[in-house]
Amino acid sequence: MESASAALQANNLDDALFDLGNALREAEKFGPGDQRLVSTLGLMASFQRSQGNFDQAESLYLRLVVALERGLGEDDPTVANALDTLATLYQEKHALPQEEESLQADHAHQDDHANEHDQPLDSAEKVLRRALEIREKAFGQDDPSVDASVNRLVVVYDAQGKYDEAKVLLQRSLETRERVFGKDAPEMAASLYNLGILAQKRGNLAEAETLLKRSWQLREKQFGLQDLELDRSLNALASLYTGQRRYEEAERLLRLSLSIRENKLGGDNPGLVPVLGSLSALHALQDHPAEVQRLLERSLSLEEKAFGEEHLLLVSTLNNLALAHMAQEHYGEAAQIWERVLSIQEINNGVFHASLLPTLEALYEAYQKQGKDQEAVRIGRRMEAVAEMSGQHEH
C-alpha cells in the first residue's frame, strides 16, 4: 500500500495501478471483512473512478460494501457512507450534481420523464434509499446525517422527473430543520429554495414565488443584504419573473445580485459573468440591443482576462454580442466578431469540425447584409467544405 500511495503522489499512474493490484491480492488473504481489504478496495476504487473507469470502480465499490457488511454488519453507518460513494459514482456516470441546492432552475427544455428509466439514476436511487434506511435505524429521524441522506435522494428524484417523491422528501427535510434549528434558521433557506424550484418545474408559479421569497428573506435576515448567500434565491426569482414577463422585477433582482457580487468579489471577477449574461438575455427579450451590447462587452472583457482570448468559453458571449450588433444593423462589427469566433473554434476544434457550421452560416448572412458578395461566396464555399469533411453534408 505504501508503494501504491507513493506512486499516486508522484502521479505515476501505471506504477500505482500495478502496486494497487498487488496490494489488493495481499489484502484478500486476510479475509472478506478485514480492514486492510476495506482500505485497499476503497483506494483502488477511488483510483479507477479518478481515471474515468466507472465500470471497474463500480465493481470495486460493490466489493467494498460487501466487505464492510461482513466486517461491521449490514446496518452499520459505515456501510451507508460507502453506499453514498457508490451513488456518487452512478451520478457521475449520469453527469449529475450531488450537492444540496442543486435542483436545476432552468427546465424549459427538460422532458419530465426523459431519465425515468435511466440505469445509473435507478442504481443511485436504490443505494441511496438503503443508505437512508441504515441511518434512520442508527440515528433516528432528526439526525443531520439522515437529513443529508434525504437531500441526496431528492437530487436523484428530481433528475428522474419524480417530482412527487422529491416534494415529499423536501417537505420532510423542511420539517426536520424547523424542529432542530427553528423556523428562522439559515438551514431552512436551502429547503425552501429547492421546494421553490420544484414548484416552478411543476408549473405552480405562485407557490414557487412564495417559497423563493421566503428563502431570500431568511438569507437576508441571517447574512445581510450584501451577502453572496442571497445570490441563489435572487437569481431563481429573477428567472421566474422573466418567464412571467415581469421584466422590471427581474432586472431589479439581477441588478441587486450584480451589486452583491461586485462588492464581494470585485468588479473584475469572472464570477460576475453569469449575472451579466442573465441581464443581457433579459434586455434581449425586451429588444434593447444597445444595452445587450454594453453588458456583453463587459462580460467578454472579464472572460478574456480570466481565460485568455482564444478560449472556447468566450464563444457563447461573442455569438450573443454579434447578434446584438446585427439587431442594430452593425453588420461589419458582427462579421468581425464571427470571424474571431471562427478562429477560436478552428484553434480548439480543428478547421473542419461541425461546430464551425453555425458560425459560418451567421458570417455568411453578415456579409450578405453588407453587400459583400465576394466574401459571402468565400464563406459559402467554406461551409460546403466543412459540411463535407465533417459528415454534415446533405445528400
The CATH code of the domain that includes 239 is 1.25.40.10
Q: Domain for residue 323, yes or no? A: yes
- Given a cut of 90, is residue 335 above it in pLDDT? yes
Mean local confidence (pLDDT), 382-390: 93
Handedness of CA 282, 288, 294, 300 (dihedral sign): positive
- Number of helices (H) and strands (E), helices first, in the chain? 18, 0
pLDDT at 168 over 80: yes
Binned at pLDDT 50, 70 and 90, residue 48 comes out as: confident
Q: What separation in angstroms does the CA of 304 have from each of 259, 293, 332, 340, 355?
A: 21, 16, 22, 13, 21
Chain-wide mean pLDDT for the chain? 89
Q: Cα 79 vs. chain centroid, distance in angstroms?
A: 28
- pLDDT value at residue 225: 84
Please tell me whether residues 351 and 255 are part of one structural domain: no
Same domain, 292 and 388: yes
Task: Indicate the residue among 263, 278, 301 that finishes a domain.
Answer: 263
Query: What cell was used for 160?
Result: 428522474
User: Same structural domain for residues 388 and 295?
Assistant: yes
pLDDT over 60 (residue 108): no
Range of the domain at 321: 287-395
Q: Indicate if 395 and 303 belong to the same structural domain.
A: yes
For range 329-358, the mean pLDDT: 97
List the Cα angle 83/88/94 in 5-degree steps.
Answer: 130
334 pLDDT above the threshold of 60? yes
- State how many domains the chain has: 2
**Residues in CB range of 101: below 8 A, 6 or more apart:** 190, 193, 194, 232
pLDDT of residue 12: 56
Q: What is the mean pLDDT of residues 82-104?
A: 77
Name which of 26-40, 122-136, 151-165 the model is least confident about. 26-40
The pLDDT value recorded for residue 115 is 44
Indicate if 395 and 308 belong to the same structural domain.
yes
Residues 368, 309 within the same domain = yes
Is 339 part of any domain?
Answer: yes
The least confident of 167-181, 224-238, 243-257 is 224-238
Q: In the prediction, which pLDDT does 19 show?
A: 62
